[in-house]
Chains A and B, each alone.
Chain A
Amino acid sequence: MANSTTEKSKAVPAQNISAMTVLAPAVGWLIPGAGHMIQKRWIRGSLLFVSIVALFLLGLAMQGRIYKANGGDILDILGFIGDVGAGGLYLLSLAMDWGQGAIAFATADYGTKFMIVAGLLNFIAIADAYHIAIGKKQ
C-alpha cells in the first residue's frame, strides 16, 4: 500500500517533465522566448523575445527576402531552414505576404541575413529551453 502511493507520487513529476520537454521547444519555436517564459524564466524569455523579434522585424523593414520551401539552389534551401527557425514570425510573414521583394541593394541583403540569423538564434533558444526542461540547465 505504501509502495503504491510512493510510485504514484514519483510518476506525477516524471509526467510533467516529459510534457515540458515537448511543450517548451514547441512553444519556443512558435513564439521566440516563450519556451523560457512557460518555465518561469521571465527575464531570459523577454530578452530572447525582444532580441529575436527585433532582428526579424528589422530584417523585414530593410526589405529583406523571406525564403519559401524550395528544392533548388543549396543557398536557398539553407536560407529557408534559417527562416523557418523564426517560427510564428515566419508563418505570419508568409500569411501577410511580407518580404517577397527582390534583393536589389545592399540593405536588402543585410535584412535577408538578419531574418535568417533571427531564425538560427531561435533554434539556439529552443535548445536552451529544452535543456532547462530536462534539468540540464537552471
Chain B
Amino acid sequence: MHITLRLGRSSDEAFSHQPSAISSTFFTGIHSVTITLNHFSAALVFSFFASIVFGITHRDNARDMVRYGVYCFAMFLGGVFVAGWAMWILKR
C-alpha cells in the first residue's frame, strides 16, 4: 500500500516543484496535507468505510450489522479483483 503524506507550508520548497493545483491544498495558509493513494489502496479505504455505513444502515441488530459489513467489504474487494482481471484479459 503506497501512501505518501506530505506536511508543510504551501510556500515550502517541498512544494516548489509541483504545479499550483497540488500546492493549493485544503489547509491553505496553515499546513498543506497531500495524500497519494494508488488505485488499489483507494479502493481498499473506500470499501472499508462504505462497508461500515452499509452494515449499520441495512441491518437491525449488531450481529447482522457486522456480518453484512464484512460481506459488503468482501464483495467490494472481490469486485476490484474481478474487474482488474477482466481488464487484464481485455487488454491482451
CB-defined contacts of B39 to chain A, threshold 8 Å? 106, 110
A125 contacts partner chain B, Cβ-Cβ < 8 Å: yes
Interface of A is mostly: helix
Per-position contact with B for A39-79: 1 when CB-CB < 8 Å, else 0? 00000100110011011001011110000000000000000
- Taking residues whose C-beta sits less than 8 angstroms from the other chain, chain B's interface range is 20 to 34
Cβ contact of B53, chosen from A48, A97, A110, cutoff 8 A: A48
A127 contacts partner chain B, Cβ-Cβ < 8 Å: yes
CB-defined contacts of B22 to chain A, threshold 8 Å? 63, 101, 104
Inter-chain contact A114/B46, CB cutoff 8 Å: yes
CB-defined contacts of B61 to chain A, threshold 8 Å? 138
- The interface size of chain A toward B, counting residues with CB under 8 Å, comes to 35
Which residue of chain B is the closest to A65 with respect to CB atoms? B21
CB-defined contacts of B36 to chain A, threshold 8 Å? 62, 107
CB-defined contacts of A108 to chain B, threshold 8 Å? 21
Given A51-B49, A108-B21, A121-B50, A63 and B56 contact (CB-CB distance below 8 Å): no
